[in-house]
Structure 1
Amino acid sequence: MASENETRRLSAPGIYLVRIIVFLLLIGFVALILYRQIQTAFMANPGLNGLIIGVLCIGIVLAIRQVWRLIPEVRWVNTYQAGDTEAARAPVLLAPMAKLLGDKQQHKTISTMTLRAILDSIGSRLDESREIARYLTGLLVFLGLLGTFWGLLETVGSISNVIKSMQGGNDAGIMFDELKNGLSAPIAGMSISFTSSLFGLAGSLVLGFLDLQAGQAQNRFYNELEDFLSANATDPGVEAMAGLPPDLAAALTKLSAGDPAGSRASTAAMANLAEGIQGLVKHMRGEQQMIRDWVEAQAAQQREISKLLERIASEAERR
């Protein structure tokens, strides 16, 4: 039993936090090496580039929070298996499951339908917590493209002004000087477009990796939690065959016991078959009850008619 409980213990998501921290340290080291180039690119459009970096920082904090919030949930499940739920803080993500299971000493079991409802609820909560991070990843790409089109508009407008200035009919030297002075604005516009795209794409790559690590941590937590809850769930075949007739339940039990593999697919198929037969039996019992009620009503009506006929006959004899 000790080894079985040990296999059901949930793994802490610390390895994913270590990966995130190591990745961020590597990114910071590369940024430190390319500090001058990054500073020059940042100053090409400090407003938009600062917004991109701000969104990136928010996404990093959210990604770390998604992994960090799993630590108290894992600790509560492990302490629950040890029988000491008071030692851990009450869970937030698993609060409905904690109320349903109660204390370890009560040895509560949950039905298969309740198990599936709990897992669906937890899965939807985990997916919902990642929606903001996914939106921020797309937002970084959008901001990079916004800077690209902004810079292209500046470039096209500047080139148009340069062409207009060259139509004045001046001599070649003056026109060449005006051309050199006028090309500085299109080059500045191109720098805006390329630097914003650079920051946006780099930020989306960083957030994409962090979201990948958070997703892996949540998937492992979900899978291990499913194994833990399956140990506390009732057998779907036994639960579904509870309302069947004894002979039919015994036959289905013998049929399911004859499967040497004991796979989940066969168990689920037997549960569905038992549920269908149970519904059919309930329907037949309901129809039988309706027929009995109708027969009793007809018998009562016949008795009333016979009494009425007896009264009519007695009244006729008196007259």
Structure 2
Amino acid sequence: MTNPRRFLLRMALFLGIVVLVIGVLFSGLEHAFFNNVGLNSLSLGILLVGIALNFRHVVMLGRDIRWVDAYRGGRPQEITSSSGPRLLAPLAGMLGERGDRFALSPAALRSLLDGLASRLEESREIARYFTGLMIFLGLLGTFWGLSQTVGSIGEVIRSLSISGDDVQSAFAGLKQGLDAPLTGMGTAFSTSLIGLSGSLILGFLDLQAGQAQNAFYNELEDWLSTQTKLSSNVGTGEGSDQPIPAYIQALLEQTADSLDNLQRVIARGEEGRISANANMRQLTDRLSVLADQMKTEQSLMLKLAENQLEMKPILARLAESAGSSAIDDQTRQHIRNMDAGLHRLIDDLAGGRDEMVREIRSEFKLLARTIAALAEEEPPLATPPKRT
């Protein structure tokens, strides 16, 4: 939100200009001030109090602005550590009751803004009264001085007597008698000068304070408008402004919560389906690799069978030759080695086949577990809340 320091800077610059003008015109202002010290001192005192009040109004906005900025920025430690707001005390109470679930109805927003506007107006009433009081004191001093002037002029006229022999003494008496009317005129003009000047100063400071409060009010209204839920009044007729019943409001809030929960469940189910699809792709890749291995082993087994078929006639001829003539030890040893190699090859083929079967079984078990997990993770359909 807008920082009120810029308004304080304007007010301080204006007061600096006023002090500079007073310094330039100090000699004449000093003579005017001593025409009626009591009334002029009262006017200056009221002026200082009005200046302090206007500065206080702008400074006090800083606490509420810091509280709103801390809440909008999501800094709860600053909200709890700092002092509570002064103008936004009802809003702070509503936030304390509802916690993070902050939503306003149009009626609540209107009531909150109306209360804030009335508090802002009430805070500036005293400062405005001081502005009018300065004008009143200026006029009071004016009429007081004029009354003194009129009364003293009447006394001078009544005491005036001119004779032919004593003209100089008559003029001296007239000169002495005019001191009182001149003093009254000085009182009238000096109090008017101080009163009107003070009202001018307080009027500018009040204008800056009003601009600061209006900027705070407008920015707060813009933020609260984003937190307002609009709802149509069903069955109330055109142009009506009746509030929604409490049980309908509770039902709508419960429906909104159910929809939020359903959205979260659907999001989790979607994430589970994505991970399951990834697992299925990995399983498909492994099965394709396993199928390639099975094809390779099948081709090897076919080649081995073909080799065994080719060796059958050789073994038959060897058996015939063994029956007709004796086989030497070297040939017999070669036959034993071939027989042992064939047995080892058959054992290796049987072991490879068993291992391949076990791998296929483990892959199918993993596939069955993945499908079962997907079936368990399917989100149930959210049932709408029951109407009361």
Query: Does the alignment reach a TM-score above 0.5?
Result: yes
- Give, in whole Å, the separation in 2 of the partners of 1:188 and 1:127: 42
Whole-angstrom distance in 1 between the partners of 2:30 and 2:115: 46
Query: Does residue 68 in structure 1 map to residue 59 in structure 2?
Result: yes
How far did 1:97 drift? Answer: 0.4
Alignment of 1:142-153 (within 5 A): 142-153=136-147
Residue of structure 2 equivalent to 1:301? none
Matched, 1:80 2:75: no
CA distance in 2, matches of 1:137, 1:62: 11
Larger mean Cα displacement after TM superposition, 141-150 or 33-42: 33-42
**What do residues 97-127 of structure 1 show as CA deviations (whole Å, max 9, x unaligned)?**
0111238961321111011100000000000
1:155–1:186 Cα contact (<8 Å) kept = yes
User: Which letter maps to 1:71?
Assistant: G
1:231 shift after superposition: 1.1
TM-score norm. by structure 2 comes to 0.59
Give the TM-score of the pair, scaled to structure 1.
0.71
* Counterparts of residues 1-319 of structure 1 (less than 5 Å): 10-88=1-79, 89=82, 90-102=84-96, 106-167=100-161, 169=163, 171-237=166-232, 240-241=233-234, 244=235, 273=239
Instruction: Name the SS for the 1:93 alignment partner.
Output: coil
CA deviation after TM superposition for structure 1 residue 157, in Å: 1.1
How many residues are aligned here?
241
Change (3 A) 1:54 1:236: farther
Offset, 1:164:
1.3
Amino acid in the other structure paired with 1:136: F
The Cα of 1:179 is off from its aligned counterpart by 0.7
Which consecutive aligned stretches of 4+ in structure 1 deviate over 2 angstroms post-superposition? 101-105, 167-171, 270-276
CA distance in 2, matches of 1:188, 1:226: 56
1:216–1:236 Cα change, 3 Å: farther
Segments of structure 2 that go 5 or more residues without pairing to the other structure are 246-388
Q: Distance in 2 between matches of 1:271 and 1:232?
A: 26
Task: Report if the CA contact (8 A) 1:148-1:192 is conserved.
Answer: yes
Offset at 1:168?
Answer: 6.8
Kindly indicate whether the alpha-carbon contact (under 8 Å) linking 1:151 and 1:191 is maintained by their aligned counterparts in 2.
yes
Q: Percent identity?
A: 47
Quickly say closer, same or farther: Cα 1:23–1:103, change in 2 above 3 A: farther
Q: 1:81 to 1:32 in 2, by over 3 A?
A: same
Give me the whole-angstrom Cα distance separating, in 1, the residues matched to 2:237 and 2:95.
Answer: 23
Pair member with larger Rg:
2
**Distance 1:203-1:236 versus aligned 2 partners, 3 A rule:** farther
